Structure 1
Amino acid sequence: MIERVLGQILFTSRWLLAPFYLVLAFCLFGLLVKMVLVFVEESHHLLHATETDTIVSVLTFIDLALTGSLLVMVMLSGYENFVSRLDHANHKDWPVWMGQVDFSGLKLKLMSSIVAISAIELLRAFMSVDETSNRDLAWYAGIHLTFVVSALILAFTDRLNGHHKTAEK
């Protein structure tokens, strides 16, 4: 009986994660506000901006969009994987990937997004190479390579784990 009660308490405690995902929704709203503020600021300088400045501005928007997509992915997949299934029967525009991203897939998508965001930051640094020190460029490149290698190792170990599960069947 104690084991059953303890199991029920532990199973129910998964709902403690729900506020975390709600906070991510608020973060998404905050990111939207930041995007609008950056857009307003950048639009004032658009007519006088150089090509490089325009590209850096566009990269900033791409960076914010990728970060927002990452938030949505973690928020919805995490909720569905760890808290409760979402009812999508009445949603015609339900994303195809929802309900199909398990924890392993979420980790890989998360790492892929981090690598993409890191690549944008690195590209942004290289676009203003005259204003960036060699030391800073080296750090950007090193951090990006660390993310790339980490993603590759994660994908490789995940693939090995998947083949191992297939071999057990």
Structure 2
Amino acid sequence: MTDNEHRNLKPLAALIFSSRWLQLPLYLGLIAAQVVYVVLFVRELIHLIGGATVLNEQHIMLAVLGLIDVVMISNLLMMVIVGGYETFVSRLRLQNHPDQPEWLNHVNATVLKVKLAMAIIGISSIHLLKTFIAIGTLGEDDVNYTEAGVMWQTIIHIVFILSAVGIAYTEYLLNLATRHSQESTEPDRPH
């Protein structure tokens, strides 16, 4: 939208349209959260390196899964920050930038929902794997490692998977309906 077009908006429409900028502090806050995750990653990495000679294989595996978990959450944050800003606030105008993520070319609310659902499933998978590995080494006093805790983590993971399948199926149906309506409105071509 050019400045001239923006000026021609009615005041209420201009206010509503401009209100998208209220999301900017939210995205800046997520960038600050990203910094916190970088600090957490470095702290855990130092702990892992420092304990490399004294930790057993199971503890090392749990520490590495913890690092992977931090990276996956960080990736989720980046998808929300970059994709959300691009979709809901303003274009980033990164065309022809060598570091532009491939998925950003076709990002919209639908693509973002599916990508976020898949990222959440990945994070949940890492947490569940950590639970299965740690269950034999940690005491019974931690609720996550009781039989009921493991059962609830598994149920929640399955709900995440079913939700992602539901989102993907809904998007498939919407795309199918859109394609069908476009085909029905196209003029018949002579053979």
- Tell whether the structures are fold-level matches, with TM greater than 0.5: yes
Q: Of residues 68, 76, 79 in structure 2, which corresponds to 1:70?
A: 76
Alignment-mate amino acid for residue 137 of structure 1: V
State the partner residue of 1:150: 163
Higher relative contact order (CA 8 A, sep 6+): 1
Q: Which residue of 1 aligns with 2:88?
A: 82
Q: Which residue of 2 aligns with 1:26?
A: 32
Residues paired across the two proteins, number:
167
Please report the TM-score for the alignment, with normalisation by the length of structure 1.
Answer: 0.93
**Greater shift in the superposed pair: 17-26 or 131-140:** 131-140
**Identity fraction in percent:** 33
Which of the pair is proportionally richer in helix?
1
Summarize the Cα distance change of 1:141–1:165 in structure 2 as closer, same or farther, 3 Å threshold.
same
Stretches of structure 2 that go unaligned for 5 or more consecutive residues are 1-8, 139-144, 183-191
Matched, 1:163 2:176: yes
Partner of 1:8: 14
Q: What is the Cα deviation at residue 90 of structure 1?
A: 7.0
For residues 123 and 10 of structure 2, the distance between their equivalents in structure 1, rounded to whole angstroms, comes to 45
| 1:87 to partner: Cα distance | 2.4
Aligned letter for 1:166?
R
What's the secondary structure of 1:148's corresponding residue?
A: helix
Contact 1:115–1:147 (CA<8 Å) still a contact in 2?
yes
Partner residue of 1:119? 125
In the TM superposition, residue 129 of structure 1 has moved relative to its aligned partner by 2.1
Structure 2 CA distance for aligned equivalents of residues 100 and 28 of structure 1? 24
Contact 1:80 1:99 in 2 (8 A): no
Return 144-153 or 82-91, whichever deviates more. 82-91
Amino acid of the residue matched to residue 34 of structure 1? L
Give ranges in structure 1 of 5+ residues lacking alignment: none
Q: In the alignment, what sits opposite 1:53? A: 59
Matched residue SS, 1:46: coil
Residues 110-167 of structure 1: CA distance to partner in whole angstroms, max 9, x if unpaired? 0100000000000000001223221111111111111111111111111111111111
Q: Deviation at 1:50?
A: 1.6
Quote the Cα distance in structure 2 between the aligned partners of 1:107 and 1:87: 22
Residue matched to 2:5? none
1:38-49 paired onto structure 2 within 5 Å: 38-49=44-55
Equivalent residue number for residue 146 of structure 2:
133
* Contact residue 77 and residue 99 of structure 1 kept, 8 A: no
**Against the structure 1 CA distance between its residues 160 and 30, is the aligned structure 2 distance closer, same or farther, given a 3 Å change threshold?**
same
Q: Deviations over 1:78-97 (max 9, x none)?
A: 10111111122573222222
Query: In the aligned structure 2, how far is the partner of 1:29 from the partner of 1:129?
Result: 31
| Superposed structure 1 runs of 4+ greater than 4 Å apart | none
